[in-house]
Amino acid sequence: MTTLKNDRYLKALLREPVDMTPVWMMRQAGRYLPEYKATRAQAGDFMSLCRNAELACEVTLQPLRRYALDAAILFSDILTIPDAMGLGLSFGAGEGPKFAKPIENKSAVDNLPIPDPEQELQYVMNAVRTIRRELKGEVPLIGFSGSPWTLATYMVEGGSSKAFTKIKKMLYTQPHLLHSLLDKLAQSVILYLNAQIKAGAQAVMIFDTWGGVLAHRDYLDFSLQYMHQIVDGLIREHDGRKVPVTLFTKGGGLWLEAMADTGCDALGLDWTVNIADARARVGHKVALQGNMDPSILYAPAPRIEQEVRSILADFGQGSGHVFNLGHGIHQDVPVESPKVLVDSIHQLSQAYHK
C-alpha cells in the first residue's frame, strides 16, 4: 500500500474517524484561476489540454498550491468517452461542447464501439499516472466519469441542452433504443473507471449532472439503474485500500434512499437539500459530500464562514462528511474566497470530531 500523508478524504468517505472535515471543490481546476487560463492558452484548445499529461497534471495541481484541499481531481472531462466512441467532440471559443455526429437512430447506436481505456483513452490514464507521481502521496487522487444518462444527453442532443427535447423524445418513443445506448455507456464507464483505478485513482465519482430532469420512475429506469450496474462492476479495493465510490445526481434530493441502496460509499448533494435531513435518511448507509451553494463564494468572508458553520452544524458530530460545493465553482469568483472556505472548514470542524 502506497502511503498517503493526508487520507482524511478517503477516511470520511468510509465513515472512519478523522481529525477534521475534509474538503475539495467540484471543478476546482478551472477558469477562476489565472494560472489555469495561462496553461490553457499554452495548450491551445480544451481537449489538447486534456490530452497533454504534463499540462493536465499541472492544472490538477494548481488549486492545491493555493488552498489546503484534501483531494485532487483528475483534470479531464466527462465527454472523453463519447469522443472516444467517434462522435467528434469540439469546444468552440466561449461555447459549450458540440458533437459533429450526434446519435439519431438505431444504426448509430449499433455501430458505437466500446472504447478500450488503454487505447483510445490512454491519454486519460497517462494523466492519472503523471498526477499520481507528482502528487507524491500528499493527498488522494479522485477519478471520475459521467453517468450513462448524463453522457447520453450530450450524445443525443449534440451538445448542451436546456429542455432535453431530443433525448426525451427518444425516451418516450424508442425506449429500447435509449436502453441499448445506456447499456453500452455503462459497459464503457465500468472499463474506463476500472482503468483509472488501476492507473492510480484512489476514489471515483460519477457525475449525473442531468439526472434531475427526469420524472421519478424514469430516473430509476434510465439513470439510477445504470449507475447501479457501474457500482456493481467497479474494483472496490486496490493497492491494499478500499476505493470509495461517490454518486452525484444534481437535483437528486428526492432519491437519496434509492441511490444509497446501490451499494456506493457516498452521495454528493446539491445545495437544495438540508444535509441534516439527508444524514437522517441515509447517513447509516453512506457518507455525504456537499453541499454549499457555489454562489456563496461571491459573498464576503464572514458570509462564507457563516454558511460553513451552518452546514457543519447541520451535519453534526462525527465522520461521514466531505465538505464540497453543491455543484461546480463559478468562473468569476474571487480567488481569495476558496481560501476562506477551506481554512474555515478545517478550523471550525475540529469540534465535531472530538
The owner of cell 477558469 is 31
Q: How many residues bind ligand 1CP (CB under 6 A)?
A: 20
Contact residue for ligand 1CP among 34, 88, 92, 96 (CB under 6 A): 96
- Can you tell me the distance from the alpha carbon of 151 to that of 262, in angstroms, rounded to the nearest whole number? 20
- Can you tell me the distance from the alpha carbon of 106 to that of 112, in angstroms, rounded to the nearest whole number? 10
- Residue 341's nearest CA partner among 67, 141, 71 is 67
3-state class of 159 per DSSP?
A: strand
- Cβ 1 to ligand 1CP shortest distance, Å: 26
Stretch that binds ligand 1CP, among 74-82, 127-135, 235-243, 287-295 (CB under 6 A): 74-82
- Can you tell me the distance from the alpha carbon of 255 to that of 269, in angstroms, rounded to the nearest whole number? 11
The residue number whose beta carbon is nearest to ligand 1CP equals 160
Q: What residues have CB less than 8 Å from 216, skipping those under 6 apart? A: 254, 255
- Can you tell me the distance from the alpha carbon of 119 to that of 179, in angstroms, rounded to the nearest whole number? 26
**Cell numbers describing residue 41:** 492558452
* 239 marked among binding-site residues: no
Q: Give the pairing of strands 245-249 and 266-268.
A: parallel
- Can you tell me the distance from the alpha carbon of 261 to that of 184, in angstroms, rounded to the nearest whole number? 23
Contact residue for ligand 1CP among 17, 31, 92, 172 (CB under 6 A): 31
- Can you tell me the distance from the alpha carbon of 343 to that of 346, in angstroms, rounded to the nearest whole number? 5
- Cβ 309 to ligand 1CP shortest distance, Å: 26
Any contact of residue 51 with ligand 1CP (CB under 6 A)? no
Nearer to ligand 1CP, 83 or 305 (CB): 83
Any contact of residue 290 with ligand 1CP (CB under 6 A)? no
The three state secondary structure string of 65-117 is HHCCCCCEECCCCCCHHHHHCCCCEEECCCCCEEECCCCCCHHHHHCCCCCCC
Stretch that binds ligand 1CP, among 21-29, 162-170, 181-189, 317-325 (CB under 6 A): 21-29
Nearer to ligand 1CP, 77 or 83 (CB): 77
Any contact of residue 209 with ligand 1CP (CB under 6 A)? yes
Any contact of residue 144 with ligand 1CP (CB under 6 A)? yes
Stretch that binds ligand 1CP, among 70-78, 82-90, 189-197, 334-342 (CB under 6 A): 70-78
Any contact of residue 97 with ligand 1CP (CB under 6 A)? yes
Q: Which residues are catalytic?
A: 27, 31, 40, 77, 154
Any contact of residue 194 with ligand 1CP (CB under 6 A)? no
Enumerate binding residues for ligand 1CP (CB under 6 A): 26-31, 40, 46, 73, 75, 77-79, 96-97, 144, 160, 207, 209, 328
Return binding residues for substrate. 27-31, 77, 154, 209, 327
